[in-house]
Amino acid sequence: MSIRLQLLAIALTTLILPWAGCQYARELESALRISQENSLHAAAGTIANALSAEASRVFTDVETGEPFDASQGDLYVFPLHGEPLLDGYREDWDLGAAPRTLPTRTGLAARLLAGHTDRYVFLYLEVDDPRFDPEPADGLPDQGGFDRVDLKLLRPDGAEESYFFATGAPGPTLAQSIVRGDDGVGHVTLAPRIQAFWLQTSGGYHLEARIPRTLVGSRLWIEAVGPAGARAGFMGADTSQGGRVFMATPGLSELLATFIGPGTRATVIDANALILGTAGALPRAGEEALAPAGTWYRRFVTGDTSVWPLQSSAPDRLEGDQVTRALAGHPAAQWLRANPGQAPLLSAAAPIRVGDHTGGAVVLEQPGDQLLELRDRALERLFNMTLLATVFAAAIAFALATWISRRIGRLSLAADGAIARDGSIRLDMPESGRADEIGALARAFERLLGRLNEHAQYLRTLGGKLSHELRTPLTIVRSSLDNLESEGARPDQRGYLTRARDGVLRLQSILSALGAASRVEESIKQAERVNFDLEALLQSAVAGYRDGFPAARIELHTPGDACFMNGAPDLMVQMLDKLIDNAVDFCAASGSVIVTLTRAPSRYELSVENDGPPIPPDLLGRLFESLFEHRPGAGDKPHFGLGLYIVRLIAEYHGGRALAGNRSGGSGAIFTVILPLI
């Protein structure tokens, strides 16, 4: 992994800070929820104690000896915010409740909904009876034969009154009652205080009625009756336990409003969990209270709420474990999971004591995020600062890694190019002036290259020094051998003298080879450039090689016309000497050496190829190095690996380059010198 990626990975470890922040936020959320539970518990208990002192005002004279049982005719009357219009429709009742189905024994289907205001009780009845039979002019309920709705009330003073609704044609109508005279004959009379509207539909009819609250006591029975005696309701059943009326306590909502603040809803329920009064409202989805600043990261800090029960609501009663426990006499609180578009809800319930028993409970509800808003705002700043710091640290680390990588890259490129193709060594390294570790590394490279340059300089001058130092001793030895031969030697001594003279000659050739590179370098420095015909020079030189190497078959191929270039002809001949000498040495006994000159658009290509063994591929790049020698066998002629090195020096002096390769077919080698045109 590169240094850049390593430093970037180190910088990314700062992301542990947001993770730690998330863990802290979860702990903080748990503590705040417990605090909110305790606070709401205390508030609910305070309100419950206050309402216990007002129990007679909270719980009216509804008979509570038996639990609420809708199947027996018990009726919950919903509070209405405004008086609906008597038109047979319930769209203006502003309730979320649907009409409840009345029991039937004869197949007649009916549904009832009841509501009240401060002055009236409203009844809405839907009856499925596709055949409408109007009321005759002199009809009585006990005679049957027409559609009607029977109503029986237990007035606040304890008196029972019976009424019925019937009409000859749909529209506004009044309740009717039967008054029996002294003769026992019943007569139908109107009850103008009880008004209604009869709406005929394709499947039956709707009846919407309005009854003054002064006429409604603790019980009410209603029943729909068809012309054939079909019934749906409670008046024909055993209603000794049913027909009770449950409704909100007047003034209780106003009383509750004095105990609560914004964002809290308080509800008082009776022992049947029916709503007696409510005050306050919960913020709706999208309002500020439910839109804290840090909602975008809540998914990372909010605990698991999947185990919470889902919020459930009924228009007439409260439900939930906290309600059940409170009605059993034990305060309780419960977190409720949010419905779509709603916030999580905290509900706390406290029992209201009436004497020695629980008469009901007060339930307080708050959005679960109210106390978390402050946390979210603080955590938003923490998260933003932490993430900004992480991004800043990653950017700084990436920039630093890029800067360090570039410095190391410059140093690496300088180290790769420290030794030039001509063998010269570059001693200065980039970054050596820095005081850090990279600067120390660059200075170490400079010291290493300095020692290497000293050694290279020693090797360059070694040949000249040896040639100079050994020339005098060789001259003495050769003159001594001449003197011995001139004085006469015995026949057995002449063999030794001959071998000694051969050794002297070989030493002389070795000294000449060692000094060749130095002489070439000096001659290159002193050479003068002139314009000359390379084709003519090759014709003359190859003719001399044919005489000098009679055993070799040397061929020449040229363009046939003049090939002018600017350079040193003597050096070109010396370069050609080395190539021909090398080719003849490696050429097979019956092989040939081919010299070819071709002209390209911007250069000349001079190649010398020979038959013989190919060059190993791993050595092709090293043949032009100084003092590099690779020959399969040893011969009498010494070799020091300077011939091709001299070829490279001369080619580079002329602005060209030397290449080595193998001939196609796997037999022989080819050396090519590329030279620029004039």
Which residues, in sequence order, are CB contacts of 388 under 8 Å at separation 6+? none
Q: Give CA–CA dist 650/128, Å, rounded.
A: 118
At 253 the three-state DSSP class reads: helix
DSSP letter (8 states) at residue 421:
T
Distance CA 171, CA 206 (A): 10
pLDDT average, residue stretch 23-31: 76
Predicted confidence band of residue 372 (pLDDT cuts 50, 70, 90): low
Tokens 């190019």 sit on residue: 417
CA geometry: angle 42, 78, 203, nearest 5 deg: 150
CATH 2.60.40.1190 maps onto the chain at 70-243
Q: Would you state the pLDDT for residue 315?
A: 83
Considering the domain delimited by 528-676, tell me its CATH architecture: 2-Layer Sandwich (3.30)
> Looking at the chain, which residues constitute the CATH 1.10.287 domain(s)?
437-520
Residue 495, amino acid: G
DSSP strands (E only) in 252-370: 265-270, 275-279, 332-336, 345-354, 357-367
CA 650/CA 263 separation, integer angstroms = 96
Query: Is the pLDDT confidence value at 296 over 60?
Result: no
Q: HEC states along 329-356?
A: CCCEEEEEECCCCCCCEEEEEEEEEECC
Cβ atoms of 74 and 246 within 8 Å: the answer is yes
In the block, which residue shows the tokens 């050429």? 587
Residue 466 to residue 617: CA distance in whole angstroms: 34
Decide: residue 610, CB within 10 A, 0-12 exposed, 13-18 middle, 19+ buried: buried
As annotated, the residues of the chain forming the CATH 3.30.450.20 domain(s) are 14-58+250-376
CATH 3.30.565.10 in the chain: give the residue spans.
528-676
Q: What is the pLDDT of residues 437-451, one digit of tens each?
A: 888 888 998 899 889
| pTM for this entry | 0.55
| pLDDT interval class at 421 (50, 70, 90) | low
Q: Please compute Rg for the chain using Cα positions.
A: 59
The torsion angles phi and psi of 611, rounded to 5 degrees, stand at -75, 150
Q: Which residues contact 485 (CB under 8 A, 6 or more apart)?
A: 497
Of residues 421, 639, 655, the one with CA closest to residue 524: 655
State yes or no: pLDDT of 238 exceeds 70.
no
What pLDDT is attached to residue 291?
43
- The class level of CATH for 70-243 reads mainly beta
CATH 3.30.450.20 fits 14-58+250-376, yes or no: yes
DSSP labels, 431-457: TTT-SSHHHHHHHHHHHHHHHHHHHHH
Q: Are 535 and 595 in contact (CB under 8 A)?
A: no
* C-alpha span between 482 and 674 (Å, rounded): 49
Q: Strands 245-247, 75-79: parallel, antiparallel or unpaired by DSSP?
A: parallel
Query: For the segment 144-202, what is each residue's pLDDT rounded down to a tens digit?
Result: 678 899 999 999 888 999 999 999 889 999 999 988 777 767 788 999 999 999 999 98
Burial 554-564 (b: 16+ CB within 10 A, else e): bebebeeeebe
Classified by CATH at the fold level, domain 437-520 comes out as Helix Hairpins (1.10.287)
Q: Report pLDDT digits (tens) over 522-556.
A: 777 778 889 999 999 999 999 998 888 888 899 99
